[in-house]
Structure 1
Amino acid sequence: MAAKLLKKYFLKVTLDVLACTLAFSPCLALYALNKPFRRGFFCNDESLKHPYKDSTVDGTMMIVLAISLGFVMIFLCELLIYYHKKEKQELRQHIPANQHLPYFLMCVYRYFGMYMFGIIIQMTVTVIGKYSIGRLRPHFLSLCNPDYSQLNCTVPGLISDIYVYVESYTCVDEKSRNAVDSRLSFPSGHSSFSTFVAVYLAIYLQARFTWRGAALLKHLCQAALIYGAYYVCLSRVSDNKHHPTDVLAGAFIGCFIAALLQQHIFVTQQQMKTFHRPFRTSSNNKLVRDDVSIEEAQLLSINNSEVS
């Protein structure tokens, strides 16, 4: 039976990794091509003349921290739930003794795996938007530094050249990393990522951490997550990395994807409530289930033939 369970778990993990790889492939392809849509600009557009600044929140550190925080939070929460059920002997009633540890690990895998899948989806959606729209960052002209003497910013009959749209121009270093990045303003990747992390983990805690004695601790963690995402969003505007509308669009993407995935958590939570009757021994000494949800059965990979 153990070998059969391991085979099922291995197949599930393999399929999940394949799904994540396929979901991330458009993002990798766009990064490899590295050719965002080339958008022009209006002469004397003050919104593109802000000075370049380093990011207050480093992107790499943000990703590492978010993944680590998500794993630790989900692991500890599921561990508390596991020991709580074990003390109340709920696991002994519902699950064979040799399935206790796999049950705990599969719960961690389920919620953290969905968390990582959501991060991949969020990043892919954001990157597709960046490379397809090619909106110029607020510091674009500071990095591009085009030769204005070669630009046709004067049109007969116009008192001001602010309404003249320039499409033919050359930056000082067209192929530099910063020059390409300056065309990837919409939507904000930092805002999308941080908002997804905050909303997903906040709703996860709401669904899974149900101990009333620590309700304020749960709400404190949720507030800290929202504060962190809010700070990241504001920093992208103050660092001249994004226009306010870029940040709003990124935050919407993160919230929307997190909300879609969180339906999975609440549905699972509701289905697990039906998992309340114990296993019983039939006349042929086989364990049978009285009222086990389909979702829970899939999670545990238990069926009558396997527990015989």
Structure 2
Amino acid sequence: MQLFTDMIRGQPLLCGQLCVLFCLVVLLDWDKSLVPPRDTQFFENDAKLANELKSDTVSSYFVIAFAYFLFLPIFVTVPNLSSRGFSLRFVGSFDKSRKDELCPSLLYYLYAVLATHFVTCCAKIYVGRKRPNFFAACEYHFAANAKKAPLFPGSSLVKGEVQFCKKDPISGMLSFPSGHASLAFSSTVFVAMELSGRIFTQAALLLFAVFVACSRVVDNKHHPEDIIAGAALGTAVSAMVHTRMIRTYFDRESPDGEKSSVVNGAYNSSPVAQDRQMSGMTGRENRAE
């Protein structure tokens, strides 16, 4: 409990930003009618919107729970996972960059996921792209459009209207980008960047994110470009947040005026520590010979 108290006291601005992002995400994602998506133009004879309705291979609730809580079990159950060579202890513990300072990895992880979630919600609302199963999901009434006039003379395209949907069309208008893909990649990329040198664990996490993203195409919930955009968004946000965390807590001058650096994945605040580590490695090699 003391760790969480120190974390919050040490990062009041970051905690405030997390609270604001959390409230915005809840408002936008929980009640999608609060800010309706853009009603972009579509056509009744667009085959890309006429796919069948399928159940989710990976549910939205699972992806949200996975994204927001992935950090905890990994960094609690597996010791010494930090890419900087410091042990992580207890729930949401910290990597010690120096004796007098703690790096709140958990806060930065939550910031990356929340920022990805918020940007995804805003992009969905702004773009308003129809899902591949739009007609089936909203039970579009084709016969209601009595005019059936082509978009322009000589065209076979017939403009559609959301007013002909028997069910609420809002959920079918949030295709771009894929929220499943963005959250899956945001969480797994951040953790994978922390697990430096653990190739199999990194690969397993990223392969799971790829599976989640691809399942959305198989389930007719997203177009291929939607999941590509979502994956790119989640990856970019997590990479930027993780880089910011590293620079904030390690790539700056130490109290002695010496810049921290990396030796074999571990951050040391002075060249003396580096020399000790290198000499220790040399001694072990000589004993092995």
Please say if 1:39 is aligned against 2:34. Answer: no
SS in structure 1 at match of 2:222: coil
With normalisation by structure 1, the TM-score equals 0.68
Q: Is the 8 A contact 2:67 2:186 kept in 1?
A: no
Distance 2:205 2:234 in 1: 13
Equivalent pairs, count: 243
SS in structure 1 at match of 2:56: coil
Larger Rg belongs to: 1
Please say if 1:195 is aligned against 2:185. Answer: yes
**Of the candidates 110, 114, 122, which is equivalent to residue 120 of structure 1?**
114
Alignment map for 1:95-114 (pairs within 5 Å): 95=99, 106-107=102-103, 110-114=104-108
Q: Unmatched 5+ residue regions in structure 2?
A: 89-97, 261-289
CA displacement 1:211-233 (0-9 Å, x = unmatched): xxxx4xx0001100110111111
* Compared CA separation, residues 292 and 7, structure 1 to 2 (3 A): farther
Q: Which residue of 2 aligns with 1:298?
A: none
> Aligned partner of 2:59: which letter?
D
CA displacement 1:177-226 (0-9 Å, x = unmatched): xx3211110100000111111211111222xxxxxxxx4xx000110011
Q: Which residue of 2 aligns with 1:249?
A: 229
Distance 1:14 1:157 in 2: 58
> CA shift at 1:133, angstroms?
1.3
Q: Which residue of 2 aligns with 1:23?
A: 21
> Aligned partner of 2:46: which letter?
D
* Compared CA separation, residues 293 and 113, structure 1 to 2 (3 A): farther
> CA shift at 1:146, angstroms?
2.5
With normalisation by structure 2, the TM-score equals 0.72
SS in structure 1 at match of 2:251: helix
Identical pairs, percent: 28
* Cα root mean square deviation, aligned: 3.2
Please say if 1:146 is aligned against 2:123. Answer: no
Distance 1:70 1:117 in 2: 12
Distance 1:227 1:8 in 2: 35
Alignment map for 1:221-232 (pairs within 5 Å): 221-232=201-212
> CA shift at 1:257, angstroms?
0.4
Q: Which residue of 1 aligns with 2:284?
A: none
Please say if 1:185 is aligned against 2:180. Answer: no
- Structure richer in helix, relative to its length: 1
Distance 1:77 1:203 in 2: 16
Distance 1:15 1:183 in 2: 35
Distance 2:35 2:187 in 1: 26
Distance 1:27 1:83 in 2: 32
* Compared CA separation, residues 9 and 140, structure 1 to 2 (3 A): closer
Q: Is the 8 A contact 1:191 1:250 kept in 2?
A: yes
SS in structure 2 at match of 1:202: helix
> CA shift at 1:134, angstroms?
1.1
